[in-house]
Structure 1
Amino acid sequence: MYDLLKGLRVVEGSAFVAGPTCGLYLAQMGAEVIRFDQIGGGPDFRRWPLTPRTEEGGGDSLYWEGLNKGKKSIALDLSRPEGRELAQRLAAAPGGAGGADGAMFVTNFPVEGFLSYATLAALNRDLICVRVMGWADGSQGMDYTINAALGLPLMTGPTDDARPVNHVLAAWDLLTGAYSAFALMAALVARLRGEGGREIRVPLSDVGAATMANLGFAAETLTTGAPRPRMGNDLYGAFGRDFTTRDGQRLMLLCVTPRQWAKALEALGLTAAVADLEAGLGVSFAADEGLRFTHRARLYPLFERAFAAKDAAALTAALDAGGVTWGAYQTMVEALEDRRLYKDNPLFEVVRHPSGLSYPTPGAMGAVLPDARQAVRPAPRLGQHTDEVLAQVLGLTSGEIGRLHDARLVAGADGR
């Protein structure tokens, strides 16, 4: 946690990955992020993975705990007009002097409906609303379906299998969440210049299509008339692939720069053999990384034999000495023991969560120097801050809050 956004209040009405990710990043940089949910939990409140069920309970969502760290929670009955009105008032609530620190709303609710921008802006014309969408036309879309439409699953996987391969990482959700946080801050800067509020719509489809274009995928296909073919684990346009050592360790090797290439050949004892191949082909692999990719079918057998003749410990020491980029494939269990990733990483601290479990939990991913990271705050219990938010943000009295509880329009952490 950091204090860079201290004093800003963002209300979040969203579910699944992209919207909650946006709120998470803002909270980790110091914003007060208030998430409202349906009493009993929204559609992602019990999403897998779940904690093991025991006689005492269990079945809590580790996913929900992870994406809602450091936020406040208010539980409303969004099925009733009075509950929806409370959500509207929260989303549009101004902040302190001049309203500069409030009236910011992140949502993936539909464009039309009780949380439409027109409805909310009628309550506060300075409102900034970032709306995560599936498709730009309002059609339903999620990470996996957008990814399928972009063609990436048909470029992924082994070369001898035509079936599409879905990536297990929700990349478009995560990119959309990060871009939404950036867009919200950009709109806030404009509002501070006196330009008022606005709605920013961020469809996963546009984030995906733009990213594919930014990386050259779209122009490549337009130029060649065909999509990029499957390449297994080959690095496109350069030299990179996985190889297996004598003792069975599978390593990913990357040789992008001329120095990396030369040092990799030296570590593997391939300098002379590759020079002979270059002479026969009339090329210089050191001068052009693209040539290493073009002639990879001739190079791979040399590397496969060289890897198979060396144990991983000796080989990786030689690669490290030469500044060559490599990485070992490891399971998630092994990754958790990796000192650089988890075990000794100051990004993580052991935190006790609402599920009752304690486990290593990350704070803000970037190190903000010279600031010191503050303690990681766990996710709230559903409805934990209901009374606090109603009093501090909407200015309701204890009597008014009590009547809302009696009418079951709101609920606290105990569900009442």
Structure 2
Amino acid sequence: MTARPLNGIRVVDMSSFVAGPTAGRVLAELGAEVIRVDPISGAVDGNRWPVTDDGASLYWAGLNQAKKSVTVDLRSEAGRRFVTDLVADSGILLENAAHAPWLDNTVLTRHRPDLIHLHVEGHADGTPAVDYTVNAEVGLPLMTGAPSSDTPVNHVLPAWDLLTGLYAALGLVTALRRRDQTGQGSYLQLALGDVALSAVASMGWVAEADRSGAARGRQGNALFGSYGADFPTADGRAVMIVGLTTGQWRALVDVTGTADIFSALERHRGLDLSVEADRYAARDAITAVLQPWFAARSLAQLEAEFDGTRVLWSAYRTLAEVAADIRCREGDGVVQEVVQPGIGTMLTSRSPLRWSGVYTDATAAPVSGAHTRDVATAAGLDSRTIDDLVESGVLGEAEAK
């Protein structure tokens, strides 16, 4: 696909950490010209882990691919005026700057009345929050982990940040559609805490707790409301098995040869294991029946047994194994190798959206300040003015290599 749907759209990205940069990356993948604006000293999240042995941030490179980079002295009046003019010219701003009066929407819309402005924040009342604190607030760490444990268990994926980034991208595209239809701009506010609570409530979990008056107990790796469990294998590996649908459950029973045992269990307990709720009620007994079958087989044997069946399963893998598998597949999936300045070759994601079955290629993240001169020129500044702004420290440029 040569022409991407957001070609011709320019977005000024003044966000940091995960949520905002994710939104900017998604828009860039869809063809928008996303201009990241950072202080001359460097992005506040420019050194976040994971990093290479030389200290280059793999995190930053992954979240900011396909963008342009401009560095500005954001504390100077001249620098702020440059950014304000850039925002007015671009017409779309994405930011998570806390307590920055010069970026207030009422100030910016004086320069661009139809501005589309999305502000990412921690909580709707303006108080700060990050993924880990929000996750604690909505109760998930006390629902996660072994049933015998009373210690909170945080997950390592910043799920609420990533989901907030996707909501932000959707909000900006929707506001762009509205502006195309009506000529009106939009000021959107998106709180990480709202995204998390909305997601939990949308699955009925808040209603469940409200009705029962009690927290749901820990399930370990069990699948709530259906059947799912993890099993160790004979060669020290582990697999996750899910019997979500009747067809998946029956396939599991057929492959493991346990039909007679489960028929007896159904008669003894008055259950019908073709029903999700009954499989959930009998989950411990089901796992006890299946465990010896898995424990007697290696992972390779399980792969052979399950091949061509409807059994829903997967082996537990380390990320190192995932990366090695990607290398073996020569970049035919959603992860692709790019040449990243300051790092060299690295694996990174491309958009998971496939257009007529085809992925769009990933693009490296910019060197900080690499596009300052180009963006300033496109904004109407002449070479002498740009030189003066660079020499005075208002604008920054990438160091020559």
Provide TM-score, normalisation by structure 1. Answer: 0.92
Partner of residue 362, structure 2: 376
Unaligned runs of 5+ in 1: 53-57, 94-101
- Among all aligned residue pairs of Structure 1 and Structure 2, give the percentage whose two residues are the same amino acid: 38
**1: CA distance, partners of 2:76 / 2:166:** 32
For residues 318-342 of structure 1, the C-alpha deviation after alignment (integer angstroms, 9 at most, x for no partner) is 3233211101001111111225996
Partner of residue 49, structure 1: 50
Q: Which amino acid in the other structure matches residue 66 of structure 2? A: G
Partner of residue 37, structure 1: 38
Unaligned runs of 5+ in 2: none
Alignment counterpart, residue 131 of structure 2, candidates 112, 128, 143: 143
Partner of residue 174, structure 2: 186
Tell me by how many angstroms 1:361 deviates: 2.6
**2: CA distance, partners of 1:342 / 1:30:** 27
Tell me by how many angstroms 1:360 deviates: 2.3
Alignment counterpart, residue 284 of structure 1, candidates 269, 272, 285: 272
Q: Is the 8 A contact 1:65 1:353 kept in 2?
A: yes
Q: 1:144 to 1:290 in 2, by over 3 A?
A: same
Q: Is the 8 A contact 1:336 1:342 kept in 2?
A: no
| Mapped pair 1:399 → 2:384 | yes
Partner of residue 153, structure 2: 165
**2: CA distance, partners of 1:340 / 1:387:** 37
**2: CA distance, partners of 1:342 / 1:108:** 38
For residues 293-346 of structure 1, the C-alpha deviation after alignment (integer angstroms, 9 at most, x for no partner) is 111122111011221233332333332332111010011111112259965433
Tell me by how many angstroms 1:129 deviates: 0.6
**2: CA distance, partners of 1:342 / 1:14:** 34
SS of alignment partner, residue 175 of structure 1: helix
**2: CA distance, partners of 1:91 / 1:43:** 20
SS of alignment partner, residue 187 of structure 2: strand
Q: Is the 8 A contact 1:268 1:315 kept in 2?
A: no
**2: CA distance, partners of 1:173 / 1:374:** 24
Partner of residue 244, structure 2: 256
**1: CA distance, partners of 2:69 / 2:345:** 20
Partner of residue 15, structure 2: 14
RMSD value, Cα: 1.8
Partner of residue 74, structure 2: 78
Q: Is the 8 A contact 1:243 1:304 kept in 2?
A: yes
- After superposition, where does 1:122-137 map in structure 2 within 5 Å? 122-137=110-125
- After superposition, where does 1:107-256 map in structure 2 within 5 Å? 107-110=95-98, 113-256=101-244
**1: CA distance, partners of 2:330 / 2:241:** 24
**1: CA distance, partners of 2:328 / 2:200:** 28
**2: CA distance, partners of 1:201 / 1:34:** 20
Alignment counterpart, residue 261 of structure 2, candidates 270, 273, 290: 273
| Mapped pair 1:63 → 2:83 | no
| Mapped pair 1:297 → 2:298 | no
Q: 1:198 to 1:169 in 2, by over 3 A?
A: same
Tell me by how many angstroms 1:272 deviates: 0.6
| Mapped pair 1:326 → 2:313 | yes
Q: Which amino acid in the other structure matches residue 277 of structure 1? A: L
| Mapped pair 1:365 → 2:361 | no
Q: Which amino acid in the other structure matches residue 230 of structure 2? A: D
Tell me by how many angstroms 1:46 deviates: 1.1
**2: CA distance, partners of 1:367 / 1:162:** 43
Partner of residue 96, structure 1: none
**2: CA distance, partners of 1:406 / 1:142:** 37
